[in-house]
């Protein structure tokens, strides 16, 4: 496939999917290309933003009757 055709297809991809496309290209390179090209794909910067760790700093709420048996399941117990 000519590069011009590939570039045209890439230009049609919505911006929110470009990181997914980049990941797929990296996958193909890592799976099917020689080791010299693999290092190029591994060294490429990630387009995704890193996830924020945490989220439970303020704690969470658990109902006081959390461990009580559920009435709907009494016939199975």
pLDDT 10s digits, 30-59:
887 765 555 555 555 666 677 777 777 778
Residue 70 pLDDT > 70: yes
As a whole number, the mean pLDDT across the chain is 80
- The domains of the chain are located at 1-48
Q: How far is CA 61 from CA 11, 16, 57, in A?
A: 47, 35, 12
Residue 3 pLDDT > 60: yes
Higher pLDDT: 34 or 29? It is 29
Residue 12 pLDDT > 80: yes
Q: What is the pTM of this model?
A: 0.41
């Amino acid at each position: 496939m000519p590069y011009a055709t590939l570039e045209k297809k890439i230009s049609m991809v919505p911006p929110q999917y470009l990181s997914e496309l980049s990941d797929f290209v990296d996958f193909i390179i890592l799976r099917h290309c020689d080791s010299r090209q693999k290092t190029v794909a591994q060294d490429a910067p990630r387009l995704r933003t890193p996830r924020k760790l945490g989220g439970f700093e303020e704690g969470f709420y658990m109902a006081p009757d959390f461990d009580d048996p559920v009435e709907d399941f009494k016939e199975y117990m």
